[in-house]
Amino acid sequence: MFSHVRWMKGATNTMRAQIEGSQAVAEAVVLCRPEVIAAYPISPQTHIVERLSRMVKQGDAGRCQYLNVESEFGALSVLIGASATGARTYTATTSQGLLFMAEAVYNAAGLGLPIVMTIANRAVGAPINIWNDHSDSMALRDAGWIQLYAETNQEAADLHIQAFRLAEELSCPVMVCMDGYILTHAYEPIDLPDQSAVDSFLPPFSPVQVLDPSEPISIGAMVGPEAFTEVKYLAHRQHVRALTLLPEIAGAFEQHFHRGSGDLYRAYRMTDADTVVIALGSVIGTIKDAVDGLRDEGIAVGCVKIGCYRPFPAMQLRAVLEGISRVIIVEKDLAVGIGGIVSADVRMALNGLPIPVHTVIAGLGGRSISAESLKQVVRDACAEHLSEPYFLDLNLRVVDEELARRHEQRRAGPLAEQLIRAVNTIGTKVV
């Protein structure tokens, strides 16, 4: 624990302090006794790996080795090797870094290696943008990793402790996704457990496959058409076991640490709810405030946080949403050419039920999502005034001007540069 931070006695077996989300995650990771960490720094993940490298260097992370590699592809490739020899492994990345490691991301899952990776969620370029949305982790949602999304920094820290246990029980890698800047750079009160409490929750890594010179095996064989489908089928079967295992782990975590964190989903004010807002990540906090405000206006609204996005808890969501009048998905991503990504999954979960699903694209590239805008969206959805997909707080003036300009001029030039001129700012005002 950092010496310079004032720790106060928290709940049972915990210490409470006002610390940055990235620092809390680094502390939680070290409490999990990782043996190999390899990472390449990239905003907004940097504070996590800086802290980890310092802790390893100072001898505060046991026998853990930290490798400062040449790229994200190198980082995950190192961990694939290390994990295959039976080491507990960790990395963190974001945005272009995640895309650069994409080939290794699929390999880690295909080889069944229980690596834990933090995604400090950030937009994907072009245009280059360092701020938060979910484009990065959504791009790799089907790579075979389990994906957990944190609402708060407390949950982000807790999810890492759960992630190692989940990954190693299933022999499947886990991404813990936390909103870049909004969580990684936020200072808030966090309870961190002590080492003995984590040790009794998370047993030492006992791998199902190990590269060992004394008992040579090969991992990573080429598989032809005769068995590829079966390998993939079994990987899918194994992956969806998380839908049973994660609630057990979250339950055990709550019993052990006296604090609810994680799980497949969490419902808020769902009793008698008629309209339900669904989202992932830190925006749930703002949505809860909006829900309270709307309840005061007499609108029967609740919200559901999807905590585990892969595997997708379709049956569980169907059960909790059955009988309601409408669903509004607030998602920080955009599938260009179709709209929502999460929405498509929720529509599948609700297949055959007469529940309209509205897609709200929000918070792209770090645009702030306000409770006021969210409340208006719910009112509009209830009045059936919402276009599909709906882009929250879209600056229609700028869009219309640019469309008109491009209509008149074929060589209209690059879009991003033109829009920067139109709004006359970059990242310097609250929008």
Q: Contact residues for other proteins (CB under 8 A)?
A: 4-6, 17-18, 20, 43, 130-131, 179, 181-182, 185-189, 282-283, 285-286, 288-289, 366, 368-371, 425-430
Q: What angle do CA 138, 144, 147 make, to 5 degrees?
A: 50
Residue 45 C-beta-side C-alpha neighbours within 13 Å: 25
In this structure, the number of other CB atoms found within 10 A of the CB of residue 251 comes to 13
Q: Which is nearer to other proteins, 6 or 397 (CB)?
A: 6
Q: Which is nearer to other proteins, 77 or 152 (CB)?
A: 152
Q: Which is nearer to other proteins, 105 or 294 (CB)?
A: 294
CB of 252 to other proteins, least distance (A): 25
CB of 137 to other proteins, least distance (A): 18
Q: Which is nearer to other proteins, 221 or 430 (CB)?
A: 430
Q: Which is nearer to other proteins, 190 or 350 (CB)?
A: 190
Which residue's structure tokens are 């030039």? Answer: 413
CB of 369 to other proteins, least distance (A): 6
Rounded CA-CA distance 202/32 in Å is 7
Q: Which of 101, 283, 277 is nearest to 183 (CA)?
A: 283
Rounded CA-CA distance 95/97 in Å is 5
Rounded CA-CA distance 331/281 in Å is 10
Rounded CA-CA distance 252/256 in Å is 6
CB of 402 to other proteins, least distance (A): 22
380-407 as b/e: b if 16+ CB within 10 A:
bbbeeebeebbbbbeeeeeeeeeeeeee
Contacts of 153 (CB under 8 A, 6+ apart): 21, 24, 25, 178, 183, 186, 188, 190
SS3 275: strand
CB of 92 to other proteins, least distance (A): 18
Q: Which is nearer to other proteins, 174 or 329 (CB)?
A: 329
CB of 229 to other proteins, least distance (A): 43
